[in-house]
Structure 1
């Protein structure tokens, strides 16, 4: 892109902005390896490039779907659909389960927050009504 003078400025993306942070990639890679294992810089960079490309590939497919449906926001269901469409069904299943669990937890958290706000409002109202008037 940078070496194409006719390219639009809005598509001129720096290399470091296109890739996942290498420290995060290395941390994820280390989680699966034995504690004494070492990972070369070249291996981290290769995985960084592959993971970033994969994310872009799947996101592009999800984005196309949203554009056709005249939506501006890609959601988790769109990503699952894109994975299945692109032949990554083995990833779509676990991601759907994760997404459902995430939504369930977020729903519970939202309900707890609502209950807490209502409780605070009731306490505040009670305290005001029980204060002596001058």
Structure 2
């Protein structure tokens, strides 16, 4: 585990892109402001992770879940973040489900193709 907040900073390019996307086009942010926002975001993530970790420990789990983060947001009174987070989690789960279904479908198609190839090879061996 990191000993200092500075050890756990978010990537500056990512923070800069988030800042740019959040502001109108004609607004520019100074380097010192970007650094301050990056540090603040890192501290917020650490604070929220700590609270979510406590929630997981209360339920005797070692793995943080989305519901732990939502509960942490409620406890920390960041209610305005809960609905957007729930939407993102729902979208993530749906995408994950679609990906798994697609992978399963591809495996099924591959299995069918392999069976057909085996049948063809057997037919050729038997002189058909």
TM-score range, shorter chain: 0.7 to 0.9
From the superposition, tell whether residues 11 and 106 of structure 1 become closer, same or farther in structure 2 (CA, over 3 Å).
closer
Matches within 5 A, 1:60-75: 60-75=50-65
Secondary structure of the structure 2 residue equivalent to 1:26: helix
1:6 maps to which residue?
none
**Aligned mate of 1:40, from 21, 30, 44:** 30
Aligned length: 124
2:77 maps to which residue?
87
Unaligned segments of structure 2, at least 5 residues: none
Is residue 2:112 matched to residue 1:122? Answer: yes
In 2, the alpha carbon distance for the partners of 1:89 and 1:35 equals 28
4+ residue runs of structure 1 moved beyond 6 angstroms?
none
1:51-88 per-position Cα deviation (integer Å, ceiling 9, x unaligned):
11111111101101112222111111111111111111
Query: Using CA pairs below 8 Å that are at least 6 residues apart, which structure has the higher relative contact order?
Result: 2
2:8 maps to which residue?
18
TM-score (norm 2): 0.87
